[in-house]
Structure formats: C-alpha cells, structure tokens
Amino acid sequence: MKRARKGSRESKIGREKRRSDRIMHPVKVFYRMGRKKIPISAINISGGGVGIVTKVPFKMNDRIKLFLHLEEDDKPCIISARVAWCGPCFHSGLEFLKIKEKEKFDQFICDKMIYKNLG
C-alpha cells in the first residue's frame, strides 16, 4: 500500500478532525436515562467534547444530557451533547452542544491546558 506524503491532501483524508486539544484528566461524568444518573468513563476531554466508554452502546447523533463534576465535591456542569462517533467496545465521542456554567467549564479547560503544556 502506498503511503501518502506528510502534509499532502491524501494524508489528511481519514484522519480525525479535532478542533481542540484533548486533556487526559479524570473527570466524573454521568448521563441521564429517565430519572437515573448513570456513570460514564471519560477517556479525554476538550472544550468541544469528550471521549467516553459506556456499558451500553449509543447511536450516532443521539442527544445526551451530561453531568460533569470537574472538581471533587463540586456542582456539576450540565452539558447537552450529541454522539459524534461510535467505535468498538462502546467507545464514543460526544460533541458538546450547550454548556451551562460555561465560564466555569472554560476556566477548568484553560487551567488543565496550561498545566499540560508546562509539564
């Protein structure tokens, strides 16, 4: 198989499209199913979305209400999200659509990005 040259149009096809860097930081995440809050394992997070692993599969374009606890014993940020991609073993990527407490969320992401870049 012929490899595309770095920077060529072909090398960009099929590659992930990410608008912002991902942060590998433990965050408690839950989603609502009916009246129950169900925990999700967050793999990574950014200003635009979160990579997750669940115990049940989601479908592309499902709308989900997330509850992100950014710090221990903190009131969660409530986020409306859309399933942007689904992978094997219940891995999914969620795109954030609307973030309540957006200023608090943005500050958290900014702080973690600074820490990531200093380390």
Please give the DSSP secondary-structure letter assigned to residue 23. B
What is the arithmetic mean of pLDDT over 44-73? 90
Residue 17 has pLDDT above 70, yes or no: no
In the chain, the domains with their CATH numbers are 20-118 (2.40.10.220)
Mean pLDDT of the 41-63 span = 92
Cα separation, 110 vs 118, in Å, equals 12
pTM of the model: 0.76
Exposed/middle/buried for residue 29 (C-beta within 10 Å: 0-12, 13-18, 19+)? buried
8 A C-beta contact, residue 53 and residue 19: no
Q: Cα 73 from chain centroid? A: 21
Choose among 116, 88, 115, 105: nearest CA to 50.
105
pLDDT at residue number 16:
53
Residue 110 vs residue 84, higher pLDDT: 84
| Average pLDDT over every residue of 112-119 | 66
Q: Residues 79-107: pLDDT tens digits?
A: 999 999 999 999 999 999 999 999 999 98
Alpha helix stretches (DSSP H) within the chain: 9-12, 102-118
